[in-house]
Amino acid sequence: MIDIAKHIQVAGGKKIYFASDFHFGIPDYKSSRERERLVCAWLDAISKDAQHIFLLGDLFDAWMEYKRVVPKGNVRFLGKLASLTDAGIGITVFTGNHDLWMRGYFEKELGIEVVKHAVNVSINQKIFHIGHGDGLSSMEWRYNLMKYILHHPICQWLYRRIHPNTGIAIADFFSRLGPKHKYKDLKMKPDHKEYQIQYAIQMLKHQRIDYFVFGHRHIPLHRKLLNNSEFVNLGDWINYNTYAKFDGNLMTLEKY
């Protein structure tokens, strides 16, 4: 039996939307502000027919919540999310590797569901396996060890003892080191070297999944896998401004 975290039946004329990797905060204030305005314009545009929006992580290049402090900025984006949930549009946010320290602010203040691992969601009886897409393979053991440490409650408690001015600055410094922020010519590797593809292929040996939907790789891709399953990587909003849409029958990868 497949473990289903959520069931959604798409109403007539409504759509389900997916996006990820906005990375607000880089490479500089001006560029990030322009990207924030673009994302908010996209959210306005899809609000006319959106029933549910899945945001698959790395919305911010560095996000850390303290008990009484959240990172400064991005108020237009946060306010837009609040207005959408107030209007009855469901939003689910998956934590990414850059914004994994979400600790209640989105749920309490914005009415948003936050999920910290990949899950199966049934949409019109189609099974979607959705997550940020990082750390899926045992071959990434160094990364997974680091991720385990960063997720550990004791480590987070200790880090929050650091003043937010220092703690957020440290996180911001390390978040900028990855190559995804710097190159426009990222390409998918052969299937046997792509952890997300290998993860999907292994899952399909044991259960039916109609759609795998991930972010993290920053490379927009929509392709067939085994048994009529489809794989979607959402790309990013640094170089591509891409998102996916499901109308109840068909999944498409589109550009805004």
User: What was the pLDDT predicted at 184?
Assistant: 59
The pLDDT score that the predictor gives to residue 180 is 54
Task: For residue 1, tell me if it sits in a domain.
Answer: no
| Number of structural domains in the chain | 1
- The predicted structure's pLDDT at residue 177: 64
* pLDDT tens for each residue of 120-175: 999 999 999 999 998 787 767 676 676 666 677 777 777 777 776 776 676 666 66
pLDDT at 85: 97
> CA 45, 58, 222, 206 torsion: positive or negative?
negative
> 119-155 burial by CB neighbour count: b if 16+ within 10 A, else e?
bbbbbeebbbbbbbbbbbbeeeeeeeeeeeeeeeeee
Residue 246: which domain range? 6-255
**Please, what's the b/e burial string for 194-205 (b: 16 or more CB within 10 A of its CB; e: otherwise)?**
bbbbebbbebbe
Phi/psi-derived region of residue 133, left when phi > 0, alpha when psi is between -120 and 50, beta in every other case = left
**What pLDDT score was predicted for residue 134?**
87
CATH of the domain at 51: 3.60.21.10
Peptide bond into 190 cis (omega under 30): no
- Model confidence at 34: pLDDT above 90: yes
pLDDT, residue 141, reads 65
Q: Is residue 44 part of a domain?
A: yes
Res 254: pLDDT: 97
Percent of all residues in the chain with a pLDDT value above 70, rounded to a whole number: 87
| Residue 76: inside a domain | yes
Dihedral of CA 137/141/146/151: which sign?
positive
| Residue 140 forms part of a structural domain | yes
Q: pTM of this prediction?
A: 0.89
- 121: which strand partners? 6, 128
Query: pLDDT tier at 176 (50, 70, 90 boundaries)?
Result: low
Q: Which helix (H) or strand (E) holds 119?
A: strand 119-123
Q: Is the pLDDT score of 1 beyond 60?
A: no
Q: Over 90: is that where the pLDDT of 56 sits?
A: yes
The residue that leads in pLDDT, 29 or 35, is 35
In the chain, what are the helix, strand and coil shares in percent, each to the nearest 5? 35, 25, 40
Q: Take residue 167 and report the two structure tokens written for it.
A: 């703690």
pLDDT at 179 over 60: no
